[in-house]
Amino acid sequence: MRKTTIFFIIIDIFIIFCFVLFYGPYENFRNTLVNTAMVTKSHQYLAYTFYSEKKVKAIMDLNKFIPISEEIDLDDIVIDTSEKDTYDNEYDEAILKRENGNDKYKYLKVKVGKYNAHLVAIYHPENVHIITSKTFNTGSGQETVLKMCKRSFGIVCINGGGFKDPDGWGSDTPLGYVIKDSEVIWAEDNTKQNIIGLTNDNKLLLVNATAQEAIDMGMRDGLQFGPFLIVNGESIKYNSAAGGYDRAARVAIAQRKDGVILFLTTEGTHGSGPTIKEVIDTLELYGAYNAANLDGGTSSQMVIENKLVNNPKNVFGQAVNGGRRVVTGFGLIDEN
């Protein structure tokens, strides 16, 4: 009888603990649980087990952002990436001061919030191009960023846009548009979407348009994704973590007013990683004037000199050795 009593007391304590945890004042836990479950798709039932559809929607709405309505003004970007004698601040110096005479790029280990991250300053925006997997929509076209980068003669590469993921295992079918060398090499439809890319003038263009409209504006290499984080020096407005993703590993591309391109990849996993706000704050410190979010989470990858420098993890926090197979990315290409 005594053992039975102890057993039921333990059960009661556990039930009370769960009730307080799921319905008490622990907003961060609640947001993490719901957002992680909804992002992973196959585990959305976890959110609906504890909360109504109305409550789940309310939690997801907390993380929405207000898109930037202002159109990008590329005249603000005046490309001069040369090393300077004086710097505006320590972050400006960190970007512009060359390391060991390397005039192609500079790698910095940084913090985004409390998470480790990898930031690369690229001094030749004309050498930044789209990289893609070997084929699209064939059933076997995906590649890791490491393989894509090596095959494309890349020096520094990051992953780019999304891809269809009907069963949680990914696919080689891109989501939205892919533009390479001023040609549309993939399109799902002909609607206006957020497109991120480099122009023939080597400026980062962030535009809501069709692929052909983007090309008509001068885009030479681009892909569909978002949200846009900073436009003309103005960042997005958000409620909580922004973007409906809460915390996760992040990837972003940005450009300073002097033309230097920034690649940023953070550590983390679904529910444990920097917020969009923390990414924006970090990019702004290093002078980003225009910036956009790229595919994060398990897909997050940065390759430098044929080495994967970050530690991609799946939704369960397990290491993904060599990185997840994806379909697009951006790379600093060795054109010599």
Residues spanned by the domain of 126: 66-333
Domain boundary among 23, 45, 62: 62
pLDDT of residue 131: 98
Where is pLDDT greater, at 199 or 60? 199
Q: Please say if the pLDDT value at position 286 is more than 50.
A: yes
Task: Please list, in sequence order, all residues whose beta carbon lies within 8 angstroms of the beta carbon of residue 270, skipping any fewer than 6 positions away.
Answer: 36, 39, 40, 247, 248, 297, 298, 315
Q: Of the ranges 73-82, 135-144, 165-174, which is most confident?
A: 73-82
The number of distinct structural domains making up the chain is 2
Whether residues 10 and 78 fall in one domain: no
Q: Please say if the pLDDT value at position 30 is more than 80.
A: no
CA-based angle 119:123:127, to the nearest 5? 100
Q: How far is CA 314 from the centre of its chain?
A: 15
Collapsing DSSP to helix, strand or coil, 36 comes out as helix
Of 295, 335, 327, the closest CA to residue 132 belongs to 327
* Alpha-carbon gap, residue 256 to 286, rounded angstroms: 8
pLDDT of residue 264: 98
CA dihedral 293, 227, 325, 181 (to 10 degrees): -90
Helices and strands counted in the chain (H then E)? 8, 19
Whether residues 307 and 240 fall in one domain: yes
Residue 183 · residue 147 · CB < 8 Å? no
Range in 60-64, 100-104, 196-200, 221-225 the model is least confident about: 60-64
Whether residues 47 and 112 fall in one domain: no
| Residue 31 identity | N
Where is pLDDT greater, at 25 or 215? 215
pLDDT of residue 62: 60
Whether residues 10 and 121 fall in one domain: no
Residue 332 · residue 122 · CB < 8 Å? yes
Whether residues 262 and 130 fall in one domain: yes
Whether residues 165 and 27 fall in one domain: no
Q: Please say if the pLDDT value at position 333 is more than 70.
A: yes
Of 37, 321, 61, the closest CA to residue 168 belongs to 37
Domain boundary among 41, 62, 83: 62
pLDDT tens for 154-200 read 999 999 999 988 877 788 999 999 999 999 999 989 999 999 999 99
Confidence of residue 228 (pLDDT cuts 50, 70, 90): very high
pLDDT of residue 235: 92
Whether residues 143 and 27 fall in one domain: no
Q: Please say if the pLDDT value at position 244 is more than 50.
A: no
The DSSP string of 245-279 is --S---EEEEEETT--EEEEEE--BTTBS--HHHH
Residue 186 · residue 130 · CB < 8 Å? no
Of 328, 261, 293, the closest CA to residue 126 belongs to 261
Whether residues 326 and 293 fall in one domain: yes
Of 88, 79, 176, 177, the closest CA to residue 128 belongs to 79
Q: Please say if the pLDDT value at position 22 is more than 70.
A: no
**Alpha-helical runs (H) found in the chain:** 2-23, 27-40, 45-50, 53-62, 90-96, 145-151, 211-216, 276-285
Whether residues 86 and 218 fall in one domain: yes
Whether residues 179 and 103 fall in one domain: yes
Percent of the chain with pLDDT over 90: 66
Whether residues 215 and 297 fall in one domain: yes
Confidence of residue 328 (pLDDT cuts 50, 70, 90): very high
pLDDT of residue 52: 76
pLDDT of residue 237: 76
Please, what is the average pLDDT of the chain? Answer: 86
